[in-house]
Structure 1
Amino acid sequence: MSASYSSSSSEWPAGYRINPRVNLLDPTLVEAFREIPVAVAGDCMGRCIGARGLRAYHGDPALKLCGPAFTVRVRPGDNLMVHKALMMVQPGDVLVIDGGGDTSQAVIGGLVRTTALRVKLGGIVIDGAVRDLEELAEGIVPVFAAGHTHRGPSKDGPGEINVPVACAGLAVLPGDLVLGDADGVIAIRAEDAAALLPRTHAHLEREAGIRKTNQEGTADPERFDALLRSKGLPV
């Protein structure tokens, strides 16, 4: 299915929209990115892209998130559309929720996690709050959120499914590739993912070489001295 948002605005009440799932990524490409650290992907994308201020709530720092974005926009503190989204996702999808950064009421918790486990969700990223931290910390489903509170959500709407969202400073389109690890969360445009993969491999190889010279003490001092001289420092 192409990335199209063609449903007429007249078909939906104000503030509501449910678009079909967007499938743009080859599953083999998604699997290949599971080995790519978020920091490396970010370096290869200019070091200026990624969510800010999110915390991992799944307990295991080694648990990684990698999958196509299934986006949801909710009214802060409301999860009606989250429940609808969980009826539409496919295994491996990553639920990316724009909750407006509000942390006064949790949007997801242990009950949503139970459903996420059943549908084999690839993870949850929410610019909003979570609760039931002990259940989330059991792992299996990676969860990144802006904060937590015991106060539960409403289920009144409005909300939108599979629309472009902003999540903690990260722009995400439905079908984008979302990566998450101990360093943070990043989204890669679906049309850019295939070209980015070899660049990340080259970056990893380059870092391995630098790490080796750092360990052995054989790094070329000119790497940094030249930069300092360019700023007028006599080194």
Structure 2
Amino acid sequence: MLNVKSNQSWPAGYIINPPPPALDAKWLESFRGMPSAIVSDCLGRNVGGLGLKPFHGSRHMCGSALTVRVRPGDNLMILKALQMARPGDVLVIDGSGDQTRAVIGGIMRAMALKAGIAGVVVNGAIRDLDEWAEGDLPVFALGCVHRGPSTDGGGEINVPISCAGLVVNPGDLIIGDADGVVAVSPAELDALLSRCGDLLDREAGLMQAIEAGTLDPLRFDDLLRSKGCPI
């Protein structure tokens, strides 16, 4: 990882901030395998990326956000971010939703694997789909296109970004699976883990009741009545 000075003066259009403190390993272990839908439900059901699709299969993603904002179709600052990445980081890229040119492909995938990156999320497009489909590195993007990027620059690293409607701050916990991608502030992790555990237990109980045929047949009628529906 390359060191970056926090008091560096940057020209217009460029910011490279040092990374935040690494997430405690206990959080990565606790949330590894946690369904994104469970996390989303426990965060109020109104957060998470929209339109991001997995291009690697079904492997779960869990890691600490390394954020990058780039010009549409340009990946110079993504290359720089790869140099800065720590093992376990998730590279979260705001490419303004542009799908006319891919900003990351097979060569950069190999660089990310070598750096120990835990996953990649792109508000934009990727390419070299066959290589991503090998499944070694989780990747979520809006789409895939053969057209490659420029390397002209402009961009920011380790700044708050918007990624497909998902607000991501550097150091957030990023969770992704077949259902989508969510981000969680480190300050929320303790309470969130407890809520996720409770919800998983409730859902397991419901599944057992469905299987046993003991689910309360009146529960939905009672809910409708509570909302004023005359059943």
TM-score higher than 0.5 here? yes
Q: Identity of paired residues, percent?
A: 57
The answer as to 2:172 corresponding to 1:176 is yes
1:101 aligns with 2:97: yes
Unaligned runs of 5+ in 2: none
TM score, norm. by length of structure 2 = 0.95
Alignment of 1:51 onto 2:49: yes
Match of 2:71 among 65, 69, 75: 75
Match of 1:15 in 2: 13
Consecutive unaligned residues in structure 1, runs of 5 or more = none
Map of 1:162 onto structure 2 = 158
Match for 1:115: what amino acid? M
Which of the residues 189, 192, 197 maps onto 2:188?
Answer: 192
Q: Give the Cα–Cα distance (whole angstroms) in 2 for the partners of residues 7 and 42 of structure 1.
A: 36
Q: Choose the corresponding residue for 1:208, options 204, 214, 222.
A: 204
CA displacement 1:190-212 (0-9 Å, x = unmatched): 11112211110111001000111
Contact 2:67–2:157 (8 Å) recurs in 1? yes
Partners of 1:88 and 1:156 in 2: how far apart? 19
- Say whether the 8 Å CA contact 1:24–1:190 is kept in structure 2: no
- The answer (yes or no) to whether the contact 2:6–2:18 under 8 Å persists in 1 is no
Aligned residues: 227
Deviation at 1:64, TM superposition (A): 0.7
1:145 aligns with 2:141: yes
CA distance in 1, matches of 2:224, 2:190: 37
User: Which residue of structure 2 aligns with residue 30 of structure 1?
Assistant: 28
Structure 2 CA distance, aligned partners of 1:148 and 1:42?
26
Name the aligned partner's letter for residue 43 of structure 1: D
Letter in 1 for 2:10: W
- Distance in 1 separating the partners of 2:225 and 2:181: 36
Cα offsets for 1:171-217 (capped at 9, x unmatched): 00000000000000000011111221111011100100011111222
